[in-house]
Structure 1
């Protein structure tokens, strides 16, 4: 009673949709095809399929008679008129009738999971094997070694799952269609010629669209034009990248400054400027600050102002490298506070530098390219090499005048750096090129620009069954396993890892530590130059201060003191000697040692 009411309600509801229900009276003379595969019950009630109901639970199919029936066995459906606008399929069991799950509020899992999975069991299908011109995920055929590749493995697994018997009508080994006369029936060739097509891949799409071929085994790039020719199986989406040359290795300037990279140039400049000013401030505070007796002002008060400035700068900057290198203690309150400020800054500077030094010198930094983005290419009026510029022009508004069309997928790699500054290509093409170390100077830039859908054309009759088994094959890992088996060896990655491992074993290179060495040598040379200049200055000063030795007659006329050799020394000469000794005493207090004093005394 319930189903009778539901039947009337369903038919009334869908009447406005032009989906008329099949009545018992209309189907009482129908015939049933009892020869189809999967039937277990020969006796079928004429009410089978009349009105919405779970007819298959007590129906003729073996899959529903087991202890664990298929899911679709419990779905409600009914027979409808051929003119029904809802989803319906022609029945192979009740001859001439159409069934619909939609009218009863169910998806048609019977067709997708049962019918399409068994439609081609034992039937012959026409297959064409293609050879992709690039990449590594496609189909690749060799006259001697046969065919292989992830796409070839996946599609052949799909064919086997359908239970069909493949008839390989043609195998293409690369090149245009003209190299394979008679590859397709005359009707296909006539249509291809009328459309002036020369590609063997495009011709295969014509063949599936016209029904002469059931599936083309190969990776076809999806385009609107190909979608109009044939139905297709979507295989995978391939990312497309901007490819550009790597930036050249560090030059001399970059190498010598690398050891200083833990801190930026502005930070170094700020730290050095602060130490310079603070050192002078400490000198002024210690030399002229209030509250300290004259005899207790220490080093800066005992020497001349220029010498005090030099000594203060030396003490301040020496604290950056060795805090205990000089025994200096501030006497004034201001000097002590300034010294604490210098120590605080030096502590943070040294800690930050040490923490970042390992990263700057040992950790491998990310490689950079000469081209940063499409925007940089536009701004510099550079050119891009590509096989097809249509997507760049239509979606990125990239000028066609800045693109160089290259015939060949690998040829795009070869053209980068010669005919153009960068290239746009699929990731699989770039990865295939990386098996050759001659392209290790190229790298990907940023994230993918877009994705290209890869597909293979199929005939209308094979589409649903192939789609069902393709999903099943992918769910069971066929595609992932095929990628693992055929994945190319990255020669560039192997070389990079080897170089990095060698670097980690040997430690820092001379180039890494070139900067500190150069600075240290330069400071030593400056010290030698300073000593030489100081020696010349002392020699000149000694020459100017040397006394004039009087003659014997002058010595007798001028009173004075008797010298060690019996002569007389003028009073003025004694005063000059005292001044020179006083200067030498002050110089010794700031670090001028005995050899220089001995030189002065010798001249005296």
Structure 2
């Protein structure tokens, strides 16, 4: 079971949250601060305090309070035993705590003081208002939370006279389609919701009131002609308790009445979005440079001067001299005797410089065409080819994506980025009157640079929009016009708060306009409060604000941006060598793998035994068969020479799709290729034959062969294969000779 002291301590913990864990706070100076001493017994007696006749004092202290004559003498927690502090009720049992549970003043020390002899904070006693008796927590070294709590109690059950203005722009204020001081239930906006909820939670009521019309001329003479100025003027004179809307807090307005500050909206320079105007030559140079902007100069140098050449040289290293590859050691030439028509094939070596140049050309061609479409034979070359394709896919994908981002951003670029650049470019500006005056002072801008208040709309012809009918905040955006000739009416740029543009973009309007540069200033919005409620109402509204009520209402009212272009805020930038590290690692990993495969193949060839097998067909990276010329070179050493004009190439019966047949296991098929001989083996006559005749002859010769019947090879039979080879042969030879012997 808890001791009484522990029970009291637990009670304090429930509803006193500001001063640690001790139920009572001992003062450092029992008799008060030297500059604000506590009243002595004799001094307090001079005030003639009669507790027996003071109903308010009896109600506060309770009938069981001992020695009321000592109440307020010396620094002590005099209120710890009063009913309001001892009867905590819901402040102990309810979660969350009610708003009236902030009673940290109950355990803080205070004393009565002479207001004329106190140099620190003090307040008039609410129990003895007619006695001019003051009390001070500061004299005892503590914060006065009782005064603020007492002020909040003054708001409860009160009815406040409130006028509503309809904001002409933005989305953070108060709005009504019927305009200012409308006496209907159509008011909306985050400020309406905020004040309504604050009134419900604070226990007071709001009564919609229209400011007296006869004050309008006086207000116009002092402030200006706007309805906002009229409402502030009425509050300052006491005809209203407060006004609800978003009011720009100016020095003159703040000098006549108190304001509860709502938000600080950033002010920006508003310009047209789009590329800067250039001459034809400048536009050409800019467009030419744009295609190179996805990568930095270092990245381009890495690609052009290192990666592509290295990829080319490594591919040449793998494929050089491999039969059927793109890099043979020799190149066949056909020599034709003009008199006899006899053709001979000769092989000439290819110079190393020619081969290397060809390798470089193929590498750069693959980069520009996004494909490396040549036959690769060796295992090392095929692995290396993976590196090439990885490089092409990744680099080109990154290039395309970054270029798209840069071009999109370019469409949203602006001709100027700062106020200084706009002034140098000769711009004139639009702004509402109050904002125009602020910007003129901050940046020393000539008033002639601002579009004037339109007299046709009831304006005064002065810089900045201030007329009642022209809706100055929205007009500043509406009257921006490119290449205009009337600076008194139109403007090149405007000064606006961010919420003004957000409202336009909410409806998909003015999507070609965007804010640029840094924040120029902040436009502070607030609500005017009458002197009779300024202190308690300001305390209560700030409490609601800092507890998140205002932020909640603003978040609920935040407009969605319907301008797709306006959401493009991130600029595309050139990618550096370091940012492309992943690509380099992948590419050169495959390149290293190709070199390892090359070394393994070289080791295997050097350690061949006297009896070895040799592939009859090579296959490129796409699986296409390529004859093994090394096999033909070996066969030439053991087969007697034949007439150079009549060459038969022997195809093995073990090629894909064929069965073995014949005594020697080979099937003879005559065909022509510029890599083997000069013409076909045809019947012994000197007639000229066509490609179709060659195909027919080959088919007949194939049918007469004593070997087994061939099966389709990859979906193509021997006759079709012969026709294809004949087509290829004649395409190669048509430009060299028009006659062949059949």
Q: TM-score range by the shorter chain?
A: 0.5 to 0.7
2:112 to 71, 79, 89: 79
Provide the C-alpha distance between the structure 2 equivalents of 1:209 and 1:123, rounded to a whole number of angstroms.
20
Distance 1:37 1:370, change over 3 A: farther
The correspondence of residues 46-57 of structure 1 with structure 2, limited to 5 A, is 46-57=69-80
Tell me, yes or no, if structure 1 residue 131 matches structure 2 residue 202.
no
The correspondence of residues 239-250 of structure 1 with structure 2, limited to 5 A, is 239-247=266-274
Q: Which residue of structure 2 lines up, in the alignment, with residue 154 of structure 1?
A: 194
Tell me, yes or no, if structure 1 residue 393 matches structure 2 residue 415.
no
Per-residue CA distance 1:335-376 (angstroms, 9 max, x = gap)? xxxx9xx99997896476245146336779556332442143
Q: TM-score, normalised by structure 2?
A: 0.53
Provide the C-alpha distance between the structure 2 equivalents of 1:266 and 1:315, rounded to a whole number of angstroms.
23
Per-residue CA distance 1:287-334 (angstroms, 9 max, x = gap)? xxxxxxxxx9746975799998985764453464555727799xxxxx
Provide the C-alpha distance between the structure 1 equivalents of 2:34 and 2:284, rounded to a whole number of angstroms.
87
Matched-pair contact (CA < 8 Å) for 1:385–1:416 = yes
Q: Which residue of structure 2 lines up, in the alignment, with residue 293 of structure 1?
A: none
Matched-pair contact (CA < 8 Å) for 2:313–2:356 = no
Tell me, yes or no, if structure 1 residue 370 matches structure 2 residue 429.
no
Query: 1:483: Cα distance to partner?
Result: 2.2
1:205 to 222, 232, 236: 232
Q: Which residue of structure 1 lines up, in the alignment, with residue 62 of structure 2?
A: 41
Matched-pair contact (CA < 8 Å) for 1:86–1:103 = yes
Provide the C-alpha distance between the structure 2 equivalents of 1:433 and 1:77, rounded to a whole number of angstroms.
56
Per-residue CA distance 1:414-450 (angstroms, 9 max, x = gap)? 1223433332211221111123323222223255333
Q: Which residue of structure 2 lines up, in the alignment, with residue 26 of structure 1?
A: 46
Matched-pair contact (CA < 8 Å) for 1:21–1:81 = no
Provide the C-alpha distance between the structure 2 equivalents of 1:29 and 1:267, rounded to a whole number of angstroms.
89
Provide the C-alpha distance between the structure 1 equivalents of 2:307 and 2:529, rounded to a whole number of angstroms.
77
Distance 1:7 1:438, change over 3 A: closer
The correspondence of residues 302-341 of structure 1 with structure 2, limited to 5 A, is 302=349, 314-315=361-362, 317-318=364-365, 320=367, 325=374
Query: 1:47: Cα distance to partner?
Result: 1.3
Provide the C-alpha distance between the structure 1 equivalents of 2:251 and 2:27, rounded to a whole number of angstroms.
48
Provide the C-alpha distance between the structure 2 equivalents of 1:436 and 1:469, rounded to a whole number of angstroms.
36
Tell me, yes or no, if structure 1 residue 441 matches structure 2 residue 518.
no
Matched-pair contact (CA < 8 Å) for 1:218–1:456 = yes
Provide the C-alpha distance between the structure 1 equivalents of 2:27 and 2:189, rounded to a whole number of angstroms.
56
Matched-pair contact (CA < 8 Å) for 1:126–1:215 = yes
Aligned-partner SS, 2:263? strand
Distance 1:272 1:598, change over 3 A: farther
Q: Which residue of structure 2 lines up, in the alignment, with residue 359 of structure 1?
A: 401
Aligned-partner SS, 1:207? helix
The correspondence of residues 474-513 of structure 1 with structure 2, limited to 5 A, is 474-493=545-564
Aligned residues: 470
Q: Which residue of structure 2 lines up, in the alignment, with residue 66 of structure 1?
A: 88
Provide the C-alpha distance between the structure 1 equivalents of 2:57 and 2:235, rounded to a whole number of angstroms.
27
Matched-pair contact (CA < 8 Å) for 2:371–2:389 = no
- RMSD over aligned Cα atoms: 4.9
Q: Which residue of structure 1 lines up, in the alignment, with residue 734 of structure 2?
A: 595
Aligned-partner SS, 1:148? coil
Which of 1 and 2 has higher RCO (CA within 8 Å, sep 6+)? Answer: 1
Matched-pair contact (CA < 8 Å) for 1:14–1:20 = no
Matched-pair contact (CA < 8 Å) for 1:369–1:445 = no
1:458 to 481, 504, 529: 529
Query: 1:456: Cα distance to partner?
Result: 0.5
Matched-pair contact (CA < 8 Å) for 1:214–1:462 = yes
Aligned-partner SS, 1:131? coil
Q: Which residue of structure 1 lines up, in the alignment, with residue 259 of structure 2?
A: 232
Q: Which residue of structure 2 lines up, in the alignment, with residue 334 of structure 1?
A: none
Query: 1:51: Cα distance to partner?
Result: 1.8
Matched-pair contact (CA < 8 Å) for 1:34–1:42 = no
The correspondence of residues 114-129 of structure 1 with structure 2, limited to 5 A, is 114-129=149-164
Matched-pair contact (CA < 8 Å) for 1:435–1:488 = yes
Matched-pair contact (CA < 8 Å) for 2:429–2:494 = yes
Provide the C-alpha distance between the structure 2 equivalents of 1:276 and 1:81, rounded to a whole number of angstroms.
91
Query: 1:63: Cα distance to partner?
Result: 3.7
| Structure 2 unmatched ranges of 5 or more | 1-24, 93-100, 277-282, 315-327, 332-346, 452-463, 467-471, 483-489, 569-685, 687-730
Query: 1:216: Cα distance to partner?
Result: 0.8
Provide the C-alpha distance between the structure 1 equivalents of 2:444 and 2:109, rounded to a whole number of angstroms.
52
Matched-pair contact (CA < 8 Å) for 2:330–2:350 = no
Provide the C-alpha distance between the structure 1 equivalents of 2:440 and 2:28, rounded to a whole number of angstroms.
60
Tell me, yes or no, if structure 1 residue 98 matches structure 2 residue 156.
no
Question: Which has the higher mean CA deviation after the structures are superposed, 30-39 or 136-145?
Answer: 30-39
Aligned-partner SS, 1:382? coil
Tell me, yes or no, if structure 1 residue 107 matches structure 2 residue 130.
no
Matched-pair contact (CA < 8 Å) for 1:56–1:64 = no
Matched-pair contact (CA < 8 Å) for 1:134–1:429 = yes
Aligned-partner SS, 2:533? helix
Q: Which residue of structure 2 lines up, in the alignment, with residue 545 of structure 1?
A: none
